[in-house]
Structure 1
């Protein structure tokens, strides 16, 4: 028996070998015993060091921040590519992974650096056999260096000092997907998403404190008005396999993203709820772009080294999956794109799609949901007697937990053949075009038969959100025929971004351009408080 254990130990000793690395290829957490996170200068120095001498990496720029910092993106490919045209000519899927959208959530920034090192200088070079990878380790460059202690108390002071959530313009970059006011968002959309067209978008975060029992939780892109196939592939294929492989290789538990509140529901809980479906969240916007996306949320209450590791192994297994299945992913995305176009061509003016949604449960329950256990007791003293919940140290598995992560339409609108935007609303046309939408200026008069929306009320929220008093419109569509002339903008909806266009332009959309105040001035100028005002964007079913 003693000989048996010696053999086991001998095998383990041979399987775990130290990497002999130059100091320049070590990250700030590694050098600080995981007490510090990387500054912007640290990341840029690491990028320079990891890229030096490699024939598999090209550094490009997403753009510059308000403070003039370059937002680096590393293009990894074998053979090397430098442009979107070269990447598309390769026929390989493009995978985009970003960290540091919220600068206090540092794990993605650090894990991406480690992954860069392992691909370019370690044993993960084979991950470039069948795919092209774009890494953006430090998306929110300015706010990363505004470090102070106490910013993220749920992270157990590990690290003690982190940056701030908003960018230097004061925007939450993960609420900017529709209004696109941040410099970073515009750089991402115009310089990366539109030209490079990634098949999969991965956004790396850290939770804000829920005591579930997973080292990392995930969510797909919630498709809402988009095509369902990319969501299904992500939910049914990518996430289960990645979760299984991480458990098998690393003994790390991953699970579905969700919040729960014992104080509301009692203990044990019966359900979890995900976040909103809105495409203001970048991951969700990809469902409207007929592409796949994954949200990653490291568990805040673990130590920094654990959170970096769980994020790293999640990235690793995603790339293992995409390296093996990328061609199939491209096929699924292409079929979704074709389906969106075909629906407009065949059913435009006849079929309706959702524009407002409510969160509803999935049919399938979570059979064994991991969470920290709670001790329940009755408080009889004081002004607020009742149940109290104290977290216990052990993790338990709760049976048959309902997962509120589906979205059911509460308001629908007819999908048109397209839209006509009057010439004076050039800003709307430009907003669509920067997202990759094809918009054409009319060269002659046309007659458009379809629907005009008569707004009877425009209510603005009393409390600002992202510096906006969000708008909610009321009214009704009326069938009519209208004339439009030279200089007006024509948007034929039979194009790849049909669902994104629809969600942005429909007046009653819960996250469209009306919601984000793009039309407030027009409605107020035309007296919406006293009379019905016609929404200026016309949806047509027939054009002559």
Structure 2
């Protein structure tokens, strides 16, 4: 067994790299993953030894420890503005968002070292700068254990999924609750990477593949990036991984009980890493190695994928630059934006899947029928792959949004994401398009620190509103326009409204005393025949209300001047349409 592990390790690590340059993973012969301190110390060692490598701190995490970024740049340029000016392609590799899924941590340490030490690999960095986040969830990495990944084959111990606030950081990109996410946003928006990779380990079904892959959902990308991703980048990644004996499959999310029923594409909304990066025209990947494969195999597959990706990005540097430039231009001109999506089950592709037969047998625990995968019955066959999503809700982009300064949490997040904003210099009034929240649903249990809203319905009015000096006018003709639409439009899946940042507007602040309002309501009906007709229509369609005096008073109140106009009025308003 030890000889087998050593053989696997030597596929990556030449004997000349022995001694001080062996990682903790290599020293343990593939049984251990680096601790947080070991990982940071190793990157610092590379920083001290090579002028082409620099590690710096990018803000803090909820643990109080810094978020680190390591930069591999052959011309020793570590300034993001300068790097982009030189037309370099930038790859950002993020590890340890779930520290119990640590393969990327160890693979990246070896990858950084090998690209510094091997002359033949340096050629692939001519037009490419590689960024490494050694461990993103520092907090979870420090919470080390050996039991929380109950179904996983190694390593000996590892970190925990939740961070110091027990947040899953891969649900925090758009809402920015954690300091980790806030620091990441600063880093990401400063460097503006062309390609982003978030390394993971998957749970779920059993199958032969060691690596599965989530790519940015193609229908959510601008056409130039979608075309390059689907016709060139993905075929090369799958082909080269096959050549290295790591055949890949799309991420295994089964349509039915087991993968042979077909796979469904993953719709990563902006709460997820690659859903967030897509808002800024960055192609994203989530690598998912399989939990049941031996830890060394999983690390090797992660290493192979990252190595292949760097080589392809160098080879296609010009194509990627052209596709992204065109995508950026298209976003500025785009008028219609999809803000929610639905799977099209009529659009079906087929893929070759390497699986195991799904069978059933009596459970030793309950005696009831249970699912299992028979490794004695492997198969390779074509299965359906459903990966086409259609817009469910589409809006027309306004010329501008107006954000009152009272909503500081939202303004802070816009500022973090480099949104260009102007402040009104004096108090003023003007007519804007206003949303009223007509209907919504709220989850009964908290999700990542929030009670999520969904199923939002709005009605629109034009109103003349008063604004104060210091309120924000945000023109949408800017690089962050898609980010603005998907956060400020309340019907968007991961809008700031759905995450609860505007819950104050959902509560009514004034009401009436029935015995007093009775006389006022009677007078309103005498003086306003239209209101009287509205009440009659309401009672005709709601027989129960005819027996409920309070309900009738409430109806009249809500259709009277006494009812507060701010109740259910979404505070961010729209000016014109592009």
- Name the TM-score class by shorter chain: 0.7 to 0.9
For normalisation by structure 1, the TM-score amounts to 0.87
Match of residue 19 from structure 1: 15
Classify 1:541/1:154 alpha carbon distance in 2 versus 1 (closer, same or farther; 3 Å): same
Question: In 1, are the aligned partners of 2:216 and 2:283 still within 8 Å (CA)?
Answer: yes
Q: Does the Cα contact within 8 Å between 1:147 and 1:162 map onto a contact in 2? A: yes
From 73, 77, 86, the counterpart of 1:77: 73
2-structure distance, mates of 1:16, 1:112: 12
SS of residue matched to 2:166: coil
Q: Which residue number in structure 1 is paired with residue 39 of structure 2?
A: 43
2:528 alignment partner in structure 1: none
Q: Does 1:154 align with 2:151?
A: yes
How many residues in Structure 1 have an aligned counterpart in Structure 2? 514
Partner of 2:285: 294
Change (3 A) 1:94 1:115: same
Corresponding residue number in structure 2 for 1:8: none
- Paired with 2:407 and 2:366, the residues of 1 have a C-alpha distance of 57
State the partner residue of 1:538. 573
**C-alpha distance in structure 2 between counterparts of 1:338 and 1:259, whole Å:** 34
**Residue matched to 2:522:** none
1:124 paired residue number: 121
1:440 paired with 2:422, answer: yes
The partner residue of 1:65 within 61, 65, 72 is 61
Quick check: 1:246–1:314 contact (8 Å CA) kept in 2?
A: yes
Is structure 2 residue 211 aligned with structure 1 residue 216? yes
Structure 1, unmatched stretches of 5+, are: 1-14
SS of equivalent to 1:167: coil
SS in 1 for 2:151: helix
Matched, 1:274 2:265: yes
Shift of 1:103: 0.6
The separation in 1 between residues aligned to 2:364 and 2:302, in whole angstroms, is 44
Compared with structure 1, are the counterparts of its residues 148 and 341 closer, same or farther at alpha carbon in structure 2 (3 Å cutoff)?
A: same
416-425 or 97-106: which moved more?
416-425
Shift of 1:315: 0.2
Q: For residue 372 of structure 1, report the CA deviation from its aligned partner.
A: 1.7
Counterpart position of 1:143: 140
Provide Cα deviations, 1:195-218, integer angstroms capped at 9, x if missing partner.
Answer: 111111111111013223321111
* Native 8 Å contact 2:505 2:568 kept in 1: no
- What secondary structure, in the 3-state scheme, does the structure 2 residue paired with 1:424 have? coil
Give a deviation string over 1:307-330, Cα, whole Å, max 9, x none: 000000000000000111122212
Distance 1:434 1:374, change over 3 A: same
Q: Is residue 229 from structure 1 mapped to residue 213 from structure 2 by the alignment?
A: no
Alpha-carbon contact 2:211-2:288 (below 8 Å) kept? yes
Alpha-carbon distance in structure 1 between the residues aligned to 2:297 and 2:346: 31
Relative to the length of structure 2, the TM-score reads: 0.82
Q: Describe the SS at the equivalent of 2:496.
A: coil
Q: Which has the larger radius of gyration?
A: 2
Equivalent-residue separation in structure 2 for 1:383 and 1:218 (angstroms) = 35
Aligned equivalents of 2:285, 2:371: Cα separation in 1? 36
Would the alpha carbon gap of residues 315 and 382 (structure 1) be closer, same or farther in structure 2, given more than 3 Å must change?
A: closer
Contact 1:224/1:354 (CA < 8 Å) preserved in 2?
no
Please tell me the root mean square deviation across aligned C-alpha atoms, in Å.
2.8
**Counterpart Cα distance in 2 of 1:38 and 1:492:** 46
**Structure 1 residues 280-323: Cα deviation after superposition (integer angstroms, max 9, x where no partner):** 00111122112211111111111110000000000000000011
CA distance 1:21–1:500, change in 2 (3 Å): same
Deviates more, 1:226-235 or 1:298-307: 226-235
Q: C-alpha displacement at 1:380, in angstroms?
A: 13
Counterpart among 376, 397, 402 of residue 393 in structure 1: 376
- By how many angstroms is 1:224 displaced? 6.0
Please list every run of 5 or more consecutive structure 2 residues that lacks an aligned counterpart in the other structure.
1-10, 512-550, 559-566
Matched residue, 1:413: 395
Structure 1 counterpart of 2:246:
252
Counterpart-to-counterpart distance in 2, 1:368 and 1:224: 22
The answer to whether the 8 Å contact 1:24/1:49 transfers is no
Counterparts in 2 of 1:318 and 1:159: CA distance versus 1, 3 Å: same
